[in-house]
Chains A and B, each alone.
Chain A
Amino acid sequence: MDDFRSLKVLDHFRRAFEKLHIDYVMMRKILHMKFTMDGRRVPTIFNQSKESKGNQFLKSLGLYMLFSLIMIPFVFGNEIMFQMSIIYGMTMFFLMTSMIADFSVVLLDLRDTTILHTKPIHSKTINAAKFIHVLIYMVLLTGAFTLIPAIVMLFVHGISFFILFIVSICFILLFVIALTSLVYIFVLRFFSGEQLKDLINYIQIVLSIGIFVGYQIVLRAFDYTYLFKVYDFSWWHVFIPPMWFAAPYELFLLGNTDRPLIILTIIAIVVPMIAIYSYYRLMPSFERNLQKLMKNAGKPKSGKGKISLILERIVCFKKEERMFFRFAIQMMGEEREFKLKVYPSLGMALVFPFIFIYNELSYRTIEEISNGNMYLWIYFVNMVIGTIVYTLQFSSNYKGAWIFPVAGFRHPGLMYRASLKAFLVKFYVPIFLFVSIIYSYIFTSRIILDLIIIFLAAILQSLFVIHITYRGSFPFSKPFESLKQGSSNTILTFGLMFISAIFAGVHFLILQIPYGSESYLIAIVIVVSVMWKRMFKNN
């Protein structure tokens, strides 16, 4: 049997585990099995011929290295507190989001309960295996993300800076894992059943948006419109983790012994330790409460059927289409994994258009902004289209799709149309309307024509995405596992997002031409209606 390199590295720490009364041999076996399975995430039934070999996660590490290049500019310079806060902010954002998106599954795996906890193994060992499983991936991920910046640091700032960076990254890593788990632990403890599953969803959404907004706050913490050499402390910096970890640089390397810096440094050391310790203490109760996930004791939801009934009559004309529309709305509303993939980006879509305006406010007045073309930022709302429309093919209940061919539906075209409409009605239009209304208030009613163009561009983009990615499968008919195919998927997602950027660029150019918008509107109406007819014609 082939062995995993990470496990061989782990063998060096065997003693430490045994000190903690963890059955190392057993833990290693569990990990070995977990890694074997991770290497096979793609279910065989679907991809028997062209199944991609090896661990997809490992393959995506290269891509993370590429991402990490955005941190390089912040390595240079002498405003250490500022630069390091930014770097740590990015790292934490990155680690936290991938922890939530990719490893929640590991933490919340229910199969472990029946398979592992029924065996004569102490739950401590099982929990340790779980933790190490996540930790090893997170270490690799962190390594990939910080390797290049760390090397640059070594050359720019020297060896002690480099060592300090590595040490603090270790603390951050532990902090992030513990923090995420602790949030789950608390949620699991105080809520139950369906409610709890929903809550996990919301927390994931709030966390991802929160981290993003938090990142903006870090930027704001430094008034970077003018250069400064001295760091000004405010009390609320205590609540911004990236700043804790930036403080030691000032303290140790620059010898700046201001009291706030000492406080922040202490926090940077103590808080991760407390987090890890509480994680260690609370893990058993976590496992116990995990059982709640298996129960479906939620109260049935009722009501709110009326609105969707009206909407359904407005947007769908045929009986079958209405049926699929309803089905798509329900799937999007109920499927946890779908929400998980989609809601965070929806949150971003809602926040992005305002953040850019807000940033701009530090340079210009609102009057100046309202005369410009800044409303094109609303294309950020369109950026979610790629991901979501693409994700519509997937479902955790993909097996249920057998019903469509059995019930005699051969052409998925009608279902595409209905699902697309459902997506627009349920997700896109509400956000777009909300942003539009506020934008119309800022930029006055002169932008209404452009907003209509942008809405049509959204439809056109969705059609593109369906055309590129669907290839004849029914919506909600593929397992999410096949979506997790590492780097190629990430590239695809980015490509799909980029379409919005192209649309925005075209729109910007059109604005420079007299009567450009009007002619563009006519052109886009024609293209959309032709494409719409052609793509859904086989019904």
Chain B
Amino acid sequence: MNFGTHNVLQGIDLDVYRGQIIGYIGPNGAGKSTTLKIMLGLLDDYEGNVEIFGENIANGDVSYKRWIGYVPENAELYDTLTAAEYLTFVGELYGMSRKEAEEKALALLTQFEMEDVFHQRISSFSKGMRQKVILVSSMLHNPDLIFLDEPLSGLDANSVMVIKDIMEQLKEQGKTIFYSSHMMDIVERISNRIVLLVNGKIAADGTFEELKEQNKEGSLEGIFNQLTGFDAHKETAEKFVQIVTGNESNG
């Protein structure tokens, strides 16, 4: 896939099957979000073939999006709306009826103990509450393919556990989840396939066990460091603290 004048992605060749959680990782600027955007049809001047549910997405038919859920990184919301209005609206955009969307949104938010703020404006919500609204909006319409870009940001530890279990169970139901995150320990635990993107190329693709074998590192973090060629975290940290404290020597 070539994108624009400079190639963000080069030769991404991936086959993804039902009922998988794919940990889609890579350093900042590796092209993760770009891949997701292409699959969502937000970008269309790419070279290559993208097929979702067996259809080429460039064929002009947008109905495939009906079965996709998306949690964008730094998600924007229409935050002058109330949670109820926003979620109902999103549900309707996905083709649900207003009543169905509203009831389901309330039921889902109730699981996050947010039923009291259902009719309050999103602009008054905390970061975690906003994130929950976004998560609900991405699954309201029962999608088969879910793109999650840093879905846990701003959530407390309990909510993180809930979301992890949700992903697990959705996978059991045959849903496919594209999970993109910088939190390696979570990716390591929940993904049954990990794709590591470096400079627009796939640097590793396989289960965590396979990756461990190939790279002789004990953790995904270690594999990540190795494959992205970064081994200076200690030195960088030392330098940083030195500058903060203003000490020339290691003190």
Instruction: List residues of chain A with CB under 8 Å of any chain B CB.
Output: 26, 29-30, 33, 36-37, 40-41, 43-45, 110-111, 113-123, 288, 291
Separation in Å of the A533 CB from the closest CB of chain B?
39
Cβ B80 vs Cβ A40 within 8 A = yes
- Between-chain CB contacts (< 8 Å), 9 pairs: A36-B85, A40-B80, A43-B123, A44-B121, A113-B42, A114-B72, A115-B76, A118-B42, A122-B62
B76, A119: Cβ atoms closer than 8 Å: no
Report whether A43 and B80 are in contact in the complex, using a CB–CB cutoff of 8 Å.
Answer: yes
How many residue pairs between the two chains, A and B, have CB atoms under 8 Å in the bound complex? 75
Within 8 Å by CB of B81, from A33, A110, A116, lies A33
B161 at the interface (CB under 8 A from A): no
Evaluate contact between A115 and B77: CB separation under 8 angstroms.
yes
Main secondary structure of the interface of A (DSSP, over half): helix
Contacts A116-B93, A117-B40, A291-B43 known; 10 new A-B pairs at CB < 8 A: A33-B85, A33-B89, A43-B80, A44-B80, A44-B121, A114-B72, A115-B76, A115-B90, A117-B42, A119-B65
Residue of B nearest to A33 (CB): B89
Q: Are B65 and A41 in contact (CB under 8 A)?
A: no
Q: Which residues of A contact B63 (CB under 8 A)?
A: 120
Q: A118-B70, A120-B64 given as contacts; is B41 within 8 A of A33 (CB)?
A: no
Give the docked Cα–Cα distance between A43 and B44 (Å).
35
CB neighbours (8 Å) of B77 from chain A are 111, 115
Interfacial residues, chain B to chain A (CB-CB below 8 A): 40-45, 62-66, 68, 70, 72, 75-78, 80-81, 85, 89-90, 92-95, 121, 123-124
A120 touches which of B43, B66, B76, B80 (Cβ 8 Å): B66
Q: Roughly how many angstroms separate A331 CA and B70 CA in the complex, as a whole number?
A: 35
Q: How far is the CA of A113 from the CA of B43 in the complex (A)?
A: 10
Q: Which residue of B lies closest to A34 (CB)?
A: B78
Measured between C-beta atoms, what is the minimum distance from A474 to chain B in Å? 21
The reply to whether A117 and B44 contact each other, CB–CB distance below 8 Å, is no
Set of chain B residues within 8 Å of A29, measured between Cβ atoms: 89, 92-93
Is the CB–CB distance between A119 and B81 below 8 Å? Answer: no
Report the Cα distance A122→B41, complex, angstroms: 11
Residues of A close to B64: CB separation below 8 A: 120
Q: In the complex, which of the residues B44, B63, B89 has the most CB atoms of chain A within 10 Å of its own CB atom?
A: B89
Question: Which residues in A have their C-beta under 8 angstroms from that of B93?
Answer: 26, 29-30, 116, 119-121
Contacts of B41 in A (CB 8 A): 117-118
Contacts of A45 in B (CB 8 A): 123-124
3 A-B pairs with the lowest CB-CB distances in the bound complex, closest first: A120-B65, A120-B66, A111-B76
Residues A36 and B43 in contact in the complex (CB < 8 Å), given A29-B92, A116-B93: no
Closest to A43 in B: B123
Q: Among the interface residues B42, B65, B123, which one has the most CB atoms of the partner chain A within 10 A? A: B42
Q: A29-B93, A115-B78, A122-B62 are in contact. Are A288 and B68 (CB under 8 A)?
A: no
Interchain CA distance A44-B42 in the complex, whole Å: 31
B133 CB, nearest partner CB in chain A, Å: 12
Nearest-Cβ distance from residue A361 to partner chain B, whole angstroms = 51
